Amino acid sequence: MTDLIILNAHILTMVPDHPRAEAIAITGQRISAIGKTADIQALAQAQTKVIDANGRTVLPGFIDSHVHLFQGSAELDFLPVGGLMDLAEVRQKVLDYANARPEEPLILGVGAFYDLFVGQDTSPCRLLDSILPDQPFALLAADLHTVWANTSALRAAGLLHGADMPEGSTVVMGDDGLANGVLLETGAFGPVLALSRTGGRDMLGYVTGDDPDPAATAAEREADKALLLKGIDHVAAHGITTLHNMDGNFYQLELLSELEAEGQLNVRVQVPMHLKNYDPLERLQEAAEMHEQYNGDKVWSGRVKMFMDGVLESRTALKSRAYPDTPDTQGEAVFDPDHFNEACRIADAMGLQISVHAVGDLAVSRVLDGYEYARKHNGKRDARHRIEHIEVISEADIDRMKALNVVASMQPRHAAFAGFFEPPQPNTVLYDDECARSYAWRTLRDQGIPLAFSTDWPVVPVDVMTNIQCAVAPVDLGLNWPDQSQTLMETLDSYTAVNAWLAFREKHHGCLKTGLAADLVMLDGNIATHAPNDLSKLPIALTICDGAITYGGDEASGGIYW
Ligand SMILES: [Zn+2]
């Protein structure tokens, strides 16, 4: 029995041999036929739901290959301050928000831009005290790598007088011997986020990779699941059917599996094991356990996540040269090289996939060293190891990425030329000669390096169409910045088929082919004829994951499709 058919569509299958179709049939959780409208129409039975797409585009469901689902979900309920460039604007928002929530344990603004604190001659701590002096208050940077906290939050978190930190994390101290409010990286800001109403459980897979201790109560578990459901609805509304999470612990795997058992999990999620630099390497055994226990169609593990460095904005990204405007630092390596190489060797020998955050060119080099070391010891295999972000890369490492079959996992909207974050001023974090090798999507793709696209939500909003626009129609920043733009089909490939392959799921989903999972998205227009610089405004009409409508359809569309 055919459950649903879509007719008269502009279907981009993302299958190289059969790139186009007009109609598609779904039976249960699978695509049961795809082809011409007349042939698919003939499959309709009395109970079949029929959608006339009327020329709208249908694509495989979008796969966002780098997100933080739990944090993204939690951020939907915290105070958004993204895009604000002036603390005066932040002040009024914060006061209104705090007034409305007298019981809130931590007033947390999220999505904050570094620009808020640039050029100020007062410490961030004092600036935040001047907004809210008497209750814990903090701002989380959009990139999730820095928190700015007021005195009350620093005191409550036990950081006011400084604290011992793992490599890569810093509680920045002021001349007065007290913390100045800048907390760099997870080790430093984890204790502040733990003050929030979620108890920091949403951040735990990112901060330590540990499970909640003490274990979450039944009420906390239910609250966390409700939070995740909100986030899942949010991503489904953006046409997403699969997520690759970039933080993880058993707790998240348990919550997602419970939602699946309850029939509520409207998206597929891959969850990694997060290995910290201070973890003994025996801890990798947890990744193997996760892989063994969670290997379903909707929730699965099998990957290790690590960090090699921080971010350019806070000068913690690891570069081969000192920062142009901060000559006393070239950033910080989170992992010592030998330790990292061993971690790669062991994880690779266990058959696990590895994904490592590396922003600076030296960080990228160190990660490649680790992958090379693993290959030397374990032999070549279909490992699909990945590097996250690659904001700067050297010429030599472009060749090494290719030789080692390493996947570039990049985020179109993070780029200097995406029009979201302010492009860096010349000679601040990047030398002029580095710009051509920064956010170098085109250069990497042209070398034949597999290129996966994602958002890193909540670093930038999870809406896929805006990211597609950033990739196909980036802003022109002038001579130092060569054109890295992507064609529409390249971009869509990097958001669908490539990402399915990247998670070893290419035989299950990622393109539209008979027998594969019924994961698809219908756009409210024809993407091929839509202006490239206006793609962000092309709405999502319908999302189907695992054969079930997860967004749009009857109610949302007012029944216009059937
Ligand atoms: Zn991330």
- Tell me the three-class secondary structure of 426-481, residue by residue: CCCCCCHHHHHHECCHHHHHHCCCCEEECCCCCCCCCCHHHHHHHHHCCCCCCCCC
Q: What pLDDT sits at residue 168? A: 86
CA pair distance 57, 10, nearest whole angstrom: 4
In sequence order, the 6+-apart residues with CB closer than 8 A to the CB of 236 are 266, 267, 543, 545, 550, 551
Residues 275 and 287: their CA atoms lie apart, in Å, by: 9
Query: Residue 206 Cα, ligand 1 centroid: separation in angstroms?
Result: 9
CA gyration radius, the chain: 23
CATH fold of 4-61+512-557 = Urease, subunit C; domain 1 (2.30.40)
Distance, CA 51 to ligand 1 centroid (Å)?
37
Per-residue model confidence (pLDDT) at position 559: 43
Find the 45 Cα to ligand 1 centroid distance in Å: 46
10 CA to middle of ligand 1, Å? 33
What is the model's pLDDT at position 558? Answer: 43
- Distance in Å, CA 57 to ligand 1 centroid: 30
Q: pLDDT tens digit string along 523-554?
A: 999 999 999 999 999 999 999 999 999 999 76
Q: Count other Cβ atoms within 10 Å, centred on residue 102.
A: 7
Say how far apart CA 139 and CA 303 lie, in whole Å. Answer: 30
Neighbours of ion ligand 1 (CB under 5 A): 246, 456
Q: How far is the CA of 68 from the centre of ligand 1 (A)?
A: 6
Separation of alpha carbons 554 and 562, rounded Å: 8
How far is the centre of ligand 1, averaged over its atoms, from the C-alpha of 93 (Å)?
26
Would you give the DSSP letter of residue 216?
P
Quote the ligand 1 centre to 47 CA distance (angstroms).
Answer: 44
Per-residue pLDDT tens digits for 376-391: 999 999 999 999 999 9
Q: Are the CB atoms for 60 and 511 separated by under 8 Å?
A: yes
H-helix segments, 44-136: 69-75, 87-99, 124-131
Pairing of strands 386-389, 407-410: parallel
pLDDT of residue 561: 53
In DSSP terms, 355 is beta-bridged to: 305, 386
pLDDT at 501: 98
Does domain 79-195 correspond to CATH entry 3.40.50.300? no
Instruction: Provide the whole-model pTM.
Output: 0.95
CA of residue 302 to ligand 1 center, whole Å: 18
Measured between alpha carbons, how far is 85 from 554 in angstroms, rounded to an integer?
A: 41
Dist. CA 152–CA 400, nearest whole Å: 48
In a structure prediction context, what are the per-residue pLDDT tens digits for the chain, which is 562 residues long? 999 999 999 999 999 999 999 999 999 999 999 999 999 999 999 999 999 999 999 999 999 999 999 999 999 989 999 989 999 999 999 999 999 998 999 999 999 999 999 888 899 999 999 999 999 999 999 999 899 999 999 999 999 999 999 988 999 999 999 999 999 999 999 999 999 999 999 999 999 999 999 999 999 999 999 999 999 999 999 999 999 999 999 999 999 999 999 999 999 999 999 999 999 999 999 999 999 999 999 999 999 999 999 999 999 999 999 999 999 999 999 999 999 999 999 999 999 999 999 999 999 999 999 999 999 999 999 999 999 999 999 999 999 999 999 999 999 999 999 988 989 999 999 999 999 999 999 999 999 999 999 999 999 999 999 999 999 999 999 989 999 999 999 999 999 999 999 999 999 999 999 999 999 999 999 999 999 999 999 999 999 999 999 999 765 554 445 4
177 Cα–ligand 1 center, Å: 32
Phi, psi dihedrals of residue 317, rounded to the nearest 5°: -65, 140
pLDDT digits 0-9 by tens, 156-194:
999 999 999 998 899 999 999 999 999 999 999 999 999
Question: Tell me, what's the pLDDT at 479?
Answer: 86
Are 79-195 and 273-502 in the same CATH fold? no
Alpha-helical (H) ranges within 208-354 are 218-236, 250-261, 284-293, 337-349
One-letter identity of residue 190: G
CA of 246 to the centre of ligand 1 (A): 6
Q: Can you tell me the distance from the alpha carbon of 410 to that of 494, in angstroms, rounded to the nearest whole number?
A: 10
From the list 302, 298, 268, 297, the residue with the least C-alpha distance to 284 is: 302
Q: How many CB atoms lie within 10 A of CB 350?
A: 15
State the burial class of residue 98 (Cβ atoms within 10 Å of its Cβ: 0-12, 13-18, 19+). middle
CA of 459 to the centre of ligand 1 (A): 7
Q: Could you tell me whether strands 451-453 and 540-545 are parallel, antiparallel, or unpaired per DSSP bridges?
A: unpaired
* Domain locations in the chain as residue ranges: 4-61+512-557, 79-195, 273-502
Query: Domain 273-502, CATH 3.30.413.10 — does that match?
Result: no
